[in-house]
Amino acid sequence: MDRNNHPRGTRNSRRETRKHSFSKKMVYLSIFTISLVLICGGVYATYAMQHKPKEASELENDDHYEKKEASLLEKIRKSQKQEDFEVSEQEKKDGYIQTLIYEPVSTESIPQFQAIKSELTTLIEAAQKNSPKDDEIKLVGCTKRLKLTDQVFSYQPVVKIYSWDQEKEDWSEKTELGKNTAFVNQKTKQPLSLQDIFMSEANMLAIQQVVQQKLLSESPDGNALIDGVLNMPKMTLDGTTFTYYPDKISLGLSENPTGKTELTLSYKDIAGYVNPDIIDPASIKEALPEPLDPNKKYISLTFDDGPNPETTPRLLDILKEKSVKATFFMLGQNVVKHEALVKRVAEEGHEVASHSYSHPQLTGVDAQRVKDEVQKTDKAIYHAIGKLPTDFRPPYGAVNKDVAMIIGKPIIQWSVDSQDWQSHNAQSIIKRIDDTAYNDTIVLMHDIHPETVDAVSTVIDHLRKEGYEILPSKELLGKKAKPLHMYYGSTDERPVQ
């Protein structure tokens, strides 16, 4: 068939098809064009936002931060310059974290410096690890020195963490302190030691008595623990751990029935046994009695071998009537029998001290017997009055260095012997004391003899007539008598040989 002879309808259909196809292409082209415009517009908008000129408020915020940062760094550096020892600065920048480390230029006066430096490094590394990664941080590490006394300086690693607070538009500060503090004796340039603080083994033994009493007092049942407490190993200057403070000290404890591994003592409780140059003077102010008046006369009345239920109560009545306080050196075997009487002695303000358990000559028995004589009496007195005796009088005055070490208490001798044990006569006792008494002496009597009790009232009257003030031996000695030493008066102190 001739194509010129196709029906009109067929030509029209093809024309419509081409027209529809063209329209469809135009739609796709329009969509593509619009999409391209939107994408390009978005990219441009993002670029424009990122690169548009900062507004005035943003410029002001940046300027504010820079000023605050400069002020902080100036403050940090000025603070380090104010330290009384020269330091060097090491600076490191890691992202948003700026670290400044200050080390002393000279470390000769800090024998523990390497340990301090090691802990400071650990503190800084921990702070860096724990700091936010997208916040501005300043870490400042240094060794802080404090003058605790004229002779003691402390050194401690310190890290200060400064974080930028967006809301407050300022730096916030936090301080991390090292766990270990180095204390240095500036006189010796050596680490502070117990030798510096307590000066002698004798004072260390005195401290042990205070520790034992404190452990018992803080226990709900001291009587149940007393054997273990009394048998604690001797504390020594070179074998006892400690933590020093200007107003107190914490001492490490050996194994004991209380379970405590450390005990803190205020210096005011051990004022007679500490070096005043090493501690804060205010910590022992008024802790010791005023020195005895050199223009007065003093004497102490002491009574051995009691208590006795027949004679001691009568003696207590006389002392109460005369307003006199005395010292009673008691035998443990009598304390056990007459606890109520012992309690009365203590409650009426007299000193209760130890005279052994059964009155042997301690230099003639073995070490275990000495220990038993001392500890059994300590237990008996503690059970009666809740306090351990702090002073000791050896029977017959017999003592040597080995015995004194086991006793572990000040040895209180006498300088005036009433010889009541020999005369058993009131008038002889009175005359003997009248004839031999002198200033700053300790009088030996025995409250187990009726004749002694008969003589006491007159003895007191005569001493007072001669101008004597009568004190318990502890007060006469200024409350600072120490173990391994013998005392015959406040000015007659002798080391036990």
Question: For residue 226, is it within any domain?
Answer: yes
- Mean pLDDT, rounded, for 320-343: 98
pLDDT at 36 over 90: no
pLDDT given for residue 58 in this prediction: 54
Q: What pLDDT band is residue 32 in, cutting at 50, 70 and 90?
A: low
Report whether 251 contacts 242 (CB < 8 A).
yes
Q: What is the residue type of 217? A: S
Q: Are residues 361 and 475 in the same domain?
A: yes
pLDDT digits (tens, 9 = 90+) for 429-455: 999 999 999 999 999 999 999 999 999
- Mean pLDDT, rounded, for 27-43: 58
pLDDT at 47 over 80: no
Q: Are residues 217 and 313 in the same domain?
A: no
pLDDT given for residue 81 in this prediction: 86
Catalytic residue, chosen from 355, 446, 449, 485, is 446
Last residue of a domain, one of 238, 261, 284: 284
Q: Are residues 274 and 416 in the same domain?
A: no
Q: What pLDDT band is residue 44 in, cutting at 50, 70 and 90?
A: low
pLDDT at 366 over 50: yes
> In 3D, which of 134, 124, 133 has the Cα closest to residue 103?
124
Question: For residue 340, is it within any domain?
Answer: yes
Q: Are residues 349 and 431 in the same domain?
A: yes
Query: How many domains is the chain built from?
Result: 3
Question: For residue 78, is it within any domain?
Answer: yes
> In 3D, which of 100, 102, 97 has the Cα closest to residue 163?
97
pLDDT at 162 over 50: yes
304 is catalytic: yes
Catalytic residue, chosen from 196, 304, 440, 447, is 304
- Mean pLDDT, rounded, for 228-246: 95
Which CATH number goes with the domain that contains 80? 3.30.565.50
Q: Are residues 267 and 315 in the same domain?
A: no
Q: What pLDDT band is residue 469 in, cutting at 50, 70 and 90?
A: very high
Higher pLDDT, 195 or 4: 195
- What lies within 8 Å, CB to CB, of 8 at 6+ separation is none
pLDDT digits (tens, 9 = 90+) for 81-122: 887 788 999 999 999 999 999 999 988 889 999 999 999 999
Q: What is the residue type of 201? A: E
pLDDT at 43 over 60: no
Question: For residue 368, is it within any domain?
Answer: yes
Order of strands across the sheet that contains 262-266? 242-244, 248-252, 262-266
Q: Are residues 152 and 226 in the same domain?
A: no
pLDDT given for residue 315 in this prediction: 98
- Mean pLDDT, rounded, for 129-139: 90
Q: Are residues 268 and 326 in the same domain?
A: no
Question: For residue 40, is it within any domain?
Answer: no
Which CATH number goes with the domain that contains 398? 3.20.20.370
Q: Are residues 304 and 438 in the same domain?
A: yes
Last residue of a domain, one of 188, 210, 239: 188
Q: Are residues 393 and 481 in the same domain?
A: yes
Question: For residue 12, is it within any domain?
Answer: no
Last residue of a domain, one of 241, 258, 284: 284
Q: Are residues 422 and 334 in the same domain?
A: yes
Q: What pLDDT band is residue 6 in, cutting at 50, 70 and 90?
A: very low
485 is catalytic: no
For the chain, the average pLDDT equals: 90
pLDDT at 1 over 50: no
Question: For residue 463, is it within any domain?
Answer: yes
pLDDT given for residue 176 in this prediction: 95
Q: Are residues 346 and 210 in the same domain?
A: no
pLDDT given for residue 7 in this prediction: 46
pLDDT given for residue 345 in this prediction: 98
Report whether 194 contacts 204 (CB < 8 A).
yes
Q: What pLDDT band is residue 54 in, cutting at 50, 70 and 90?
A: very low
Q: What pLDDT band is residue 325 in, cutting at 50, 70 and 90?
A: very high
pLDDT given for residue 60 in this prediction: 62
- Separation between Cα atoms, residue 143 and residue 162, nearest integer Å: 17
Structural domain containing residue 251? 194-284
Q: Are residues 448 and 486 in the same domain?
A: yes
pLDDT at 142 over 70: yes
State pTM to two decimals. Answer: 0.80
Question: For residue 465, is it within any domain?
Answer: yes
Q: What pLDDT band is residue 21 in, cutting at 50, 70 and 90?
A: low
pLDDT digits (tens, 9 = 90+) for 198-212: 999 999 999 999 999
Least confident of 18-27, 103-112, 157-166: 18-27
